C-alpha cells in the first residue's frame, strides 16, 4: 500500500495501520460505548479497547516474519481478548487479511483491495450478515468499493484513503435509516431505526484516522 515500495514495505504498512487502529480504538472507548448503548448492550467500546490494549502491550512480541504473519498474530490476540461478538468478527477480519498478505514483502493497490475483500467475506460468513443488516459491513463494504475505484482512477494511497474515509463516514451515518437485523441491536426491532450503528461508525472513525496519519509522498 506504499507508492514507493521497499523490501519491508508490506510489513511496515501493516504495522502502521494496526498500531493506528489500536491506539484509536483505545482512545475512542467511551465514544464507541455511548453509541452502542443506544440500542445495543453498550460494551462495544470497552471490548474493542481491551483487545487492542493487549495488542499494544504485546507489540514487540508480535511475529514479524512478514505482513501476513503479523496480521495473523494480531488476529489471534484480538479473538482472545475482545469480548462479545466483536472478538470473532474483528479477529476473522484480520485473519483473512493476513492470509492474503502471507509471504508478501510488497503490497500493491490490488493486493490491498483483495485483502480487504477477504476480510469482508470473513465477517459476512462469521456474522451471518450482509450489507443492509445495520452492521459494520454497511460502512466497510462501500468504503472498500470506493478505495478500489480511487486506485483504479490513478489516485495515490493518501488520496485513495481520503476517498475511502469519506465513503465510510457517509455510509455509517446512513445506517440510522436501517433496522438492525443482527447483534443485540436487532432485539430492538424498529426502535433501532433513527440511530447509527456503533460498529459502522467505529469503522469510519478508524479509517478516518488511518487516512489522516498516512504519510504524504
pLDDT tens by residue, 120-166: 999 999 999 999 999 999 999 999 999 999 999 999 999 999 999 99
pTM (predicted TM-score): 0.92
pLDDT per residue as tens digits for the range 58-91 = 999 999 999 999 999 999 999 999 988 889 999 9
Q: Which of 87-101, 140-154, 171-185, 199-213 has the lowest mean pLDDT?
A: 171-185
Q: Is the pLDDT of residue 185 over 90?
A: no
Task: For residue 115, give Cα distances in angstroms to 46, 99, 118.
Answer: 27, 8, 5
Residue 44 contacts residue 32 (beta carbons within 8 Å): yes
Structural domains in the chain, sorted by start: 9-213 (1.25.40.340)
Q: Are the C-beta atoms of 150 and 160 separated by less than 8 Å? A: yes
Q: How confident is residue 5, by pLDDT bands cut at 50, 70 and 90?
A: very low
Q: How far apart are CA 117 and CA 38, in angstroms?
A: 30
pLDDT of 117 over the 50 cut: yes
Across the chain, mean pLDDT equals 91
Q: Are 205 and 28 in contact (CB under 8 A)?
A: yes
**Which residues are CB-neighbours of 190 under 8 A, at least 6 positions away?**
179
The residue to which cell 514479524 is assigned? 64
Three-state SS string over 77-135 comes to: HHHHHCCCCHHHHHHHHHHHHHHHHCCCCCCCHHHHHHHHHHHHHHHHHHHCCCCCCCC
Residue 193 vs residue 124, higher pLDDT: 124
User: Rounded mean pLDDT of 177-183?
Assistant: 76
Residues 178 and 4: their CA atoms lie apart, in Å, by: 41
Local confidence band at 2 (pLDDT 50, 70, 90 cut-offs): very low
**DSSP state, 6?**
-
Amino acid at each position: 500500500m506504499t507508492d514507493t515500495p521497499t523490501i519491508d514495505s508490506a510489513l511496515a504498512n501493516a504495522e502502521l495501520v494496526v498500531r493506528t487502529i489500536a491506539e484509536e480504538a483505545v482512545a475512542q472507548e467511551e465514544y464507541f460505548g455511548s453509541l452502542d448503548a443506544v440500542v445495543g448492550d453498550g460494551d462495544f467500546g470497552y471490548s474493542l479497547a481491551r483487545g487492542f490494549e493487549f495488542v499494544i502491550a504485546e507489540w514487540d512480541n508480535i511475529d514479524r516474519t512478514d505482513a501476513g504473519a503479523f496480521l495473523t498474530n494480531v488476529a489471534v490476540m484480538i479473538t482472545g481478548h475482545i469480548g462479545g461478538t466483536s472478538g470473532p468478527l474483528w479477529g476473522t477480519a484480520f485473519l483473512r487479511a493476513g492470509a492474503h498478505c502471507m509471504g508478501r514483502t510488497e503490497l500493491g493497490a490490488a493486493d490491498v483491495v483483495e485483502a480487504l475483500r477477504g476480510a469482508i467475506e470473513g465477517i459476512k460468513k462469521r456474522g451471518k450478515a450482509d450489507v443492509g443488516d445495520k452492521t459494520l459491513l454497511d460502512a466497510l463494504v462501500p468504503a472498500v468499493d470506493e478505495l478500489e475505484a480511487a486506485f483504479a482512477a490513478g489516485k495515490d494511497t493518501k488520496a485513495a484513503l481520503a476517498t475511502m474515509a469519506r465513503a465510510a463516514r457517509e455510509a455509517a451515518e446512513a445506517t440510522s435509516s436501517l433496522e438492525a437485523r443482527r447483534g443485540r441491536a436487532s432485539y430492538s426491532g424498529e426502535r433501532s431505526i433513527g440511530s447509527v450503528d456503533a460498529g459502522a461508525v467505529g469503522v469510519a472513525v478508524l479509517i478516518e484516522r488511518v487516512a489522516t496519519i498516512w504519510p504524504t509522498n
